[in-house]
Amino acid sequence: MGPGGRLARARAGAWPGDECAEDEPARRPVQVRRRRSHRADRARGPRGGPVSADRLVASRLIGIVRLDDLDLAVAAATCAIDAGLGAVEVTFTLPSAATAIDRLRAARPKALIGAGTVRDVKELEAAVGAGAQFLVAPGLNAELVQAAQLAGITMLPGVFTASEVDLALRLGTDLLKLFPVEPSGPAYLAALLQPFPAARLVPTGGIGPENAGAYLKAGAVAVAMGSSLFPARRIMSEGPEVVAALVERALAAVTREVTR
């Protein structure tokens, strides 16, 4: 075939042995998707991907890292994990939250690392891209819930009222962040569960070792603690190592109630 013939073939997009688009329209796109999927699986490596809601709940205690400094946030979270904390949520109030999540996934691959204060799809995509294994939102956003479902990642949307719990369940998500739980207290959580027994509530906003047991006794499936585990001022003045004793105390309180 001469140069003119080759050019004509190239423009037409057909060469001897090629499948024509009219003959097998789906073959090539499927092959491309499969290759991309294999590459994505290899990229995950031993770190794994998103975790199930059941595995997250099994941790019983989620630590919320809300620090403005990237290195300090990673260091404090690492100290907390080394002290026994199994699940850490890095909030997107930290501008470099995605970087923190990526670094923690690499440094502590056995821990559950998630993203918190996720408020829009752009942040959701950034969190998933960084390797977040679960997501937490401050409120109930149907678009976010559906985006998380499409991405195949566990999300805890924030709820407070009976109407919000009802809507969340109708959207197909039952693991919910009850926020802010204080000053309403454990009795409020128990009251919400009466008409919505299928809801699995994780209270946060005022939870500490002194009241965690009461919330678990009232029906919470897990609790989430922020400043009780990661007090920003103390961490900045004394160093990230201060979180170790706080984590141990919180774990003792949670374990004591769970084993009763």
Q: Domain for residue 169, yes or no? A: yes
pLDDT digits (tens, 9 = 90+) for 157-171: 999 999 999 999 999
Residue 104: CATH number of its domain = 3.20.20.70
pLDDT per residue rounded down to tens, the chain (260 residues): 444 443 333 333 333 333 333 333 333 332 223 223 333 333 343 456 789 999 999 999 999 999 999 999 999 999 999 999 999 999 999 999 999 999 999 999 999 999 999 999 999 999 999 999 999 999 999 999 999 999 999 999 999 999 999 999 999 999 999 999 999 999 999 999 999 999 999 999 999 999 999 999 999 999 999 999 999 999 999 999 999 999 999 999 999 877 66
Residue 222 inside a domain? The answer is yes
Is 89 a residue of the active site? Answer: yes
Residue 113 pairs in a beta bridge with 88
The H-or-E segment that residue 116 falls in is strand 112-116
Q: Which helix (H) or strand (E) holds 94?
A: none
Tell me the residue range of the domain where 202 lies. 48-258
Contact 195, 161 (CB under 8 A): no
Residue at 105 is within a domain: yes
Please check whether residue 32 lies inside any domain of the structure: no
- Is residue 226 included in any domain, yes or no? yes
Out of 89, 110, 123, 248, pick the active-site residue. 89
| pTM for this entry | 0.81
The number of distinct structural domains making up the chain is 1
Find the DSSP H helices in the chain: 3-12, 27-44, 53-58, 70-82, 97-107, 121-130, 142-151, 162-170, 186-193, 212-218, 232-238, 243-258
pLDDT tens track for 121-146: 999 999 999 999 999 999 999 999 99
Active site residue 110: no
**Which one, of 66, 77, 70, 60, lies nearest residue 243 by Cα?**
77
The one catalytic residue in 19, 177, 238, 248 is: 177
- Domain contains 15: no
- Asked if the structure places residue 20 within a domain, the reply is no
Grouping H, G, I as helix, E, B as strand and the rest as coil, residue 132 is: coil
Residue 105 has which token pair?
């996934």
The total of other beta-carbon atoms located within 10 Å of residue 57's CB is 17
Residue 60 CB coordination number (10 Å): 21
Within-domain flag for 19: no
